[in-house]
Structure 1
Amino acid sequence: MFNHLFQPIKIRDMELLNRVIMPEMGTRMANEKSEITQRLIDYHEARAKGGCGLNIVEVASVHSPSAPAHFVSISEDSFIAGHKKLTSAIHEAGGKAGIQLWQGSIAVGMDPKAKIFVASDMPFGKYTIPAITKNEIKEIVDSYGKAARRCVEAGYDCIEFHCAHNYLPHSFLSGGFNRRQDEYGGSFENRMRFPLECIEAIRNNIPEGMPLFMRIDAHDDCLPNGLIIEEIIEFCKRAKEAGVDVLDVSRGNIITPASIYEVPPIDIPNGFNVENASRIRKETGMVTIAVGRINTPELGENIIKENKADMVVMGRAQLADPEFCNKAKTGKVKDIIYCVGCNQGCYDGFCDVVNREFITCLRNPSLGHEKEYNLHKTDTPKKVLIAGGGMAGMEAARVLKERGHIPVIYEAGESLGGQFVTAGEAPGKGEMKRAAILYGEKIQALGIPVHFNTFITEDIISKENPDQVIISIGASPINLKLEGIEKKPVYNSHEVLKGKVRPEGMVAVIGGGLVGLETADALATTGNPVKVLEMKEAAGADLGSLRKIAVMQKMKSLGVEIIVNATCVAVEEQGIVIEHEGKREIVSCDSIVVAVGAKSNDNSELVALCEVKNIPFELIGDAKKPRRAINAIEEGFLVARTL
């Protein structure tokens, strides 16, 4: 199945079993000294065992003074031994190993001890970062060559040169960043000089038969004087002459809203960058990789089949399911756990250095724990009643079943998936709804009994005689009590998203969090003029940074008016009375939608019943406390793993 996607390919002396690449995604799994850890080895080994054609080890620093902690480094000979262990593990698992050579420019500022290099003087708050000197340029170029030599010794099959995302080589190449007046700036010929010198240094230090990849941006987004695709094509032709074999075509940079294209959230269309890769491939005649929200085998297959690219990056697809390739190749597509582009674990988790040690995944709580979270059969099977068939409850049921326990789900509604399905009703979020439905089908295919439209009662407890109860009954929207609220038609956000009600006329949405904004999206998309009232200083406070960029852009395009610092105090015939900037105003509207958050559904009776009957129980997900889906699924997994 998917014969084009799983067709072998040979590049110089390297032969890959298929066209799927696990890309160089930052993980923060290296240690404080930037050394390879067993965690990172296990992470890559799992994807190689899962059938991936090529694993590329992420953003490996080439220069010690500018190498941030917890990022991989290959800047000293002392790192070689750790990299050998990693490449050996990938090879023993049946895969091929690549490594991305990187100098991160301003991105290394995540570590205050790392030296920041920029192409031109760059204002940074009250301080200006001075441009890299010519001597430092020579030092960095030399570092690329030495790092490449170490990669060969460490056993890598190929090398990728990172020349995108306003890291240092891209910053020299782009007129949006490079304002130098010397031979490294000004004309495009001059701006190509530094990245071409880096490529030549790498090529001169690796065997003739070793492929050299290059990650590039198809063009610069949201950047005045930035690169256009015609310039990229010209540069790629020059890079080919210097020894580059493969183009890995990405988009985005880390200082403008274009960052949404680096780790594109669900709001960005699947395969949004494929046509750029196709054009670059055609005009350069080079082996090309397509990148950007390619998360199904069907999409990957069509890209290869239609000759738009030679290979595809499927990164987050393999975070969500390390067995993605094996399942796709054998036609077990319904068994795949699909990435939904939520960004909660892979990007938000990467940036949240306070609460997350390394990246994770909403759909795969085992990410980063591949060995320690390996599921083992229980010696003492237990019957476990699960109250609630949302994502947390289903995750618990799946893990329990896999471990040999006997899970039984009692769901108060008529379907599985809970609020994940509701979230998937918002415009552009159909992947979430599909994922929840597929997971529900998987649960039933596993033979796990599911009782719909049923609450767990004392009679059911007596009949089932469980050893354990897991309470995962979720949360419901909070109702808002305002003086005079009966004067207007009032709906809750979930009713609107599910299509159960249709507010008329001008709609005021009270609450500018994720749910409120997605409700506004749904209403405005179907023709309602919408105003969002948010009491905080900014809307979308509960959104991750990249999703927030996309959602706020959508609000602007739809003409949704957002009023912040607005406290709703009453409702009158004309509309909602708010306190705003020290005075009272009336926001006119015909209908009101309330989206001010959720509260846990009442579980006191079931808790009391378990306590009286001395049955152990666990609260998980929103039943414990309303939070993000990533927390709920993780709790379902962890409870079931340790039972």
Structure 2
Amino acid sequence: MFEHVFAPIKIREMELKNRIILPAMGTRMADADGSVTEKLVAYHAARAKGGCGLNIVEVAAVHTPSAPAHFVSISEDKFIEGHKKLTDAIHENGGKAGIQLWQGSIAASMDPKAKILVVSDMNFGPYTLKAITKEEIKEVIECYGAAAERAVKAGYDCLEFHLAHNYLPHSFLSAGLNHREDEYGGSFENRCRFPLEVIDELRKRMPEGMPLFIRIDAQDDLLENGMSIEEVIRFCKIAKEHGVDVLDVSRGNIITAASMYEVPPIDVPNAFNVENAARIRKETGMVTVGVGRINTAALAEELIADDKVDMVVMGRAQLADPEFANKAKEGHVEDIVHCVGCNQGCYDGFCDVANRPHITCMRNPMIGHEAEYTLDPAEHTKKVWVIGGGVAGMEAAQILHKRGHQVTVFEAADTLGGEFLLAGEAPGKGEMKAAALEMGAQTERMVTVHKNTVVDVEMIAKGDVDEVILAVGSSPIQIQLEGADKLTHVSAPEVLRREVKPEGKVAVIGGGLVGLETADTLASAGCEVTILEMKDSIGSDLGSLRKIAVMMKMQQLNVKMLTNSKVCKFTEEGIVLEDGTVVPCSCAVFAVGFHSNDSHLLAEACEKKQIPFHVIGDAKAARRAIDAVAEGFEVGRQI
């Protein structure tokens, strides 16, 4: 099964057992000084054990002054020992190890103590950053070379030079960023000079048999005077002559809305960048890696079988399920936990320095805890009832089952999935619904499930149960307004489930994620939509990349968005705001959030019978799916 994906490939002297790559995704699992931690070793070892062909260790800083805290570093000899432990762990688990050599330019600003190197003078907030000097250029090139020697000593099988995403090397290459007037700027040949000098230094200081990859953007999106795909192809042909073996074709930059292409959310189509990679591959004749929301084995197989790319990056696919490759190879596709591109734990978690020590995953709370969260068998097997079959309840049920408990799930509806199903009803969100149904099917294969069953106090009183999990979810908040009888009004879930189909002018009250997805549903069906948000911003509960994509969609659909717009009352003409403005509409849709469903009677019944119980997910507080799944995982781990 998936014979093309699991065919071996040899590049110079490196042989890979399959075509699946874990890319160099930032984790923030390194120590403050950049040292490799046991946490990072366990994270990579789990993916190598899971069958990945090549693990590329992430954004490894080559230059100490510009190395941000908690980013992996290979800028000094003291780091070699830690990297050797990491490569040993990957090798011992059947994989190959690469390392991505990186100088992050303005991305170093994540750490206020790190030096920021820029290709040209640049306005950066209240400051003007001065362009890197020629002396500093020579220093950085030497640092790349020294890092390559350390990587060889540490046992890496290949190197990757990060030449994308407006980090320093890409900034030199792109005329949209490089405004220098010396030999490193101006003409295409001059702009190529710095990255080619780095490539030459790397090639000189690594073994002849070791492959050199470059990660490069297919083009510069939304960047005036940026690199075209034709220029990228021209550069890649030259890079090939300088000893580059593999093109890892990415897309995006961190200074425009095109940043959404770096870690593309669910709003961006699967394999959106592969046609670019296929063209670059065809015109350069180089081994090429396809990148961009390739999250199923079937899609990966199709892309390689159709001769579009030679290998595929499957990063977040292996965050969601470290056993992805093994399950696919063995034909157990139905057991794979698929990434849905929510970005809640990977990108948003990476950027949330104040609240999260490192990345996580909405679908896999074990990330960063691979060593300590071993899911050991329970000391005493218990009969556990899980009341509620949303994602929190299903996660708890699965973990409890894996630890040997006897689990029964009770769901009031006819389908498992809860609000996760609702999230998948909006246009372009089919993967979310599919994941909810998939998780439901996986749960039913593991434990006993009773659907269309409402658990009451009497059932608990009579039940043969040792512990109870209350995961009863949430319901839409209802608001009573003056004039409610004068204007048709419905809830967002009714619209998303197509239970009602408003027409004409429709106002959506609430500008959070649910309100935006409701507006998308209505506008895509031909309605003239206005979003009314009482706060001063729309989409405040969205992560930054999803917000870019969703707002672009709203603009394309001509959705009108009004902030600081508190709804006062309804009239036959429409909605009256607090300032007296009338918003004409024939229907109002409430999307003002959700409140926890009441579970206090069930809790009291448990207390009366002296049964330990746990309230989790939206039943505890209506939040994001990442919180619900994490709570389900944690309670399942502790019982």
TM-score band (shorter)?
over 0.9
- The equivalent of 1:193 in structure 2 is 193
- The equivalent of 1:93 in structure 2 is 93
Q: Does the aligned pair in 1 maintain the 2:388–2:471 contact within 8 Å?
A: yes
2:4 and 2:453 map into 1 onto residues whose CA distance is 47
3-state SS in 2 of match to 1:546: helix
3-state SS in 2 of match to 1:123: strand
Post-superposition offset of 1:95:
0.3
Q: Does the aligned pair in 1 maintain the 2:457–2:601 contact within 8 Å?
A: no
1:539 and 1:210 map into 2 onto residues whose CA distance is 50
- The equivalent of 1:432 in structure 2 is 432
- The equivalent of 1:152 in structure 2 is 152
- The equivalent of 2:592 in structure 1 is 596
**1:422-470 deviation line (CA, Å, top 9, x unaligned):** 1100000000100010111111112x11111222123322443211110
1:439 and 1:511 map into 2 onto residues whose CA distance is 29
3-state SS in 1 of match to 2:215: strand
- The equivalent of 2:601 in structure 1 is 605
2:361 and 2:104 map into 1 onto residues whose CA distance is 24
2:433 and 2:607 map into 1 onto residues whose CA distance is 35
2:337 and 2:186 map into 1 onto residues whose CA distance is 48
Alignment of 1:215-234 (within 5 A): 215-234=215-234
Percent sequence identity is: 65
306-315 or 484-493: bigger deviation: 484-493
2:478 and 2:502 map into 1 onto residues whose CA distance is 17
3-state SS in 1 of match to 2:346: coil
Task: Give 1:226's aligned amino acid.
Answer: G
1:479 and 1:401 map into 2 onto residues whose CA distance is 37
Alignment of 1:387-426 (within 5 A): 387-426=387-426
1:619 and 1:454 map into 2 onto residues whose CA distance is 19
1:504 and 1:244 map into 2 onto residues whose CA distance is 57
- The equivalent of 1:75 in structure 2 is 75
Alignment of 1:365-514 (within 5 A): 365-446=365-446, 448-514=447-513
**1:461-481 deviation line (CA, Å, top 9, x unaligned):** 244321111000110000111
2:424 and 2:99 map into 1 onto residues whose CA distance is 36
**1:374-404 deviation line (CA, Å, top 9, x unaligned):** 1111120111111100010000000111101
1:530 and 1:28 map into 2 onto residues whose CA distance is 41
- The equivalent of 2:47 in structure 1 is 47
Post-superposition offset of 1:504:
2.4
Task: Give 1:402's aligned amino acid.
Answer: K
1:102 and 1:124 map into 2 onto residues whose CA distance is 21
479-488 or 146-155: bigger deviation: 479-488
Post-superposition offset of 1:23:
0.2
Alignment of 1:165-184 (within 5 A): 165-184=165-184
3-state SS in 2 of match to 1:584: coil
500-509 or 629-638: bigger deviation: 500-509
Match of residue 629, structure 1, among 617, 625, 637: 625
Post-superposition offset of 1:231:
0.2
Q: Gaps spanning 5+ residues in structure 2: where? A: none
3-state SS in 1 of match to 2:376: coil
Q: Is 1:538 aligned with 2:534? A: no
Q: Does the aligned pair in 1 maintain the 2:491–2:589 contact within 8 Å?
A: yes
- The equivalent of 1:566 in structure 2 is 565
Q: Is 1:248 aligned with 2:248? A: yes
1:106 and 1:457 map into 2 onto residues whose CA distance is 57
**1:549-571 deviation line (CA, Å, top 9, x unaligned):** 00000000001000111000111
1:493 and 1:510 map into 2 onto residues whose CA distance is 9
1:238 and 1:434 map into 2 onto residues whose CA distance is 44
Alignment of 1:278-297 (within 5 A): 278-297=278-297
Q: CA RMSD in A?
A: 0.7
Q: Does the aligned pair in 1 maintain the 2:461–2:609 contact within 8 Å?
A: no
Alignment of 1:20-35 (within 5 A): 20-35=20-35
Q: Does the aligned pair in 1 maintain the 2:461–2:605 contact within 8 Å?
A: no
3-state SS in 2 of match to 1:622: helix
2:428 and 2:131 map into 1 onto residues whose CA distance is 42
- The equivalent of 1:109 in structure 2 is 109
2:199 and 2:160 map into 1 onto residues whose CA distance is 10
- The equivalent of 1:37 in structure 2 is 37
Task: Give 1:528's aligned amino acid.
Answer: C
- The equivalent of 1:271 in structure 2 is 271
Q: Does the aligned pair in 1 maintain the 2:488–2:587 contact within 8 Å?
A: yes
2:146 and 2:355 map into 1 onto residues whose CA distance is 36
1:458 and 1:494 map into 2 onto residues whose CA distance is 28
Q: Gaps spanning 5+ residues in structure 1: where? A: none
Task: Give 2:312's aligned amino acid.
Answer: V
2:566 and 2:348 map into 1 onto residues whose CA distance is 29
- The equivalent of 2:552 in structure 1 is 553
1:453 and 1:468 map into 2 onto residues whose CA distance is 21
2:636 and 2:324 map into 1 onto residues whose CA distance is 23
Task: Give 1:119's aligned amino acid.
Answer: V
3-state SS in 2 of match to 1:191: helix
1:532 and 1:485 map into 2 onto residues whose CA distance is 19
1:81 and 1:602 map into 2 onto residues whose CA distance is 54
Task: Give 1:428's aligned amino acid.
Answer: G
Task: Give 1:618's aligned amino acid.
Answer: H
- The equivalent of 1:337 in structure 2 is 337
- The equivalent of 1:311 in structure 2 is 311
Alignment of 1:340-351 (within 5 A): 340-351=340-351
2:362 and 2:536 map into 1 onto residues whose CA distance is 28
Q: Across the two proteins, how many residue pairs are aligned to each other?
A: 639
